[in-house]
Amino acid sequence: MAKNILVKFEMTIGDYEHSDQYIFDKEMTEYQYCKKFWNLSKKNSNGLKTNVFWDNWEMNAISVHSISEISKQDAETLKRLRVA
């Protein structure tokens, strides 16, 4: 049975900080969430904080801010509102 896992991301792009969220259908590691959401080509966290990953192509860092399982109704509402 598919789950509704709401993952909130933090991204640093130069001096700009941004957050975004996405609903996944299964549990994964923080790296796997980042890889699938941001299409990372390889795991690169050299010199960064724990579970912060660097993307050479986009020249930014991405990390998971929070992970929570939400109800099917909440997932549908967020998708309908285009929030996640």
pTM of the model: 0.87
Task: List beta partners, residue 7.
Answer: 22, 67
Q: Which of the two residues, 13 and 25, has the higher pLDDT score?
A: 25
| pLDDT the model gives residue 22 | 97
Strand positions, DSSP E, 1-84: 5-13, 16-24, 52-55, 60-69
What is the edge-to-edge ordering of all strands in the sheet holding 5-13? 16-24, 5-13, 60-69, 52-55
53 and 62 Cβ atoms separated by less than 8 Å = yes
The values of phi and psi at residue 74, to 5°, are -65, -40
What residues have CB less than 8 Å from 14, skipping those under 6 apart? 59, 60
Q: What is the pLDDT of residues 43-84, one digit of tens each?
A: 887 777 888 998 877 788 999 999 999 999 999 999 999 988
Q: Which of the two residues, 66 and 42, has the higher pLDDT score?
A: 66
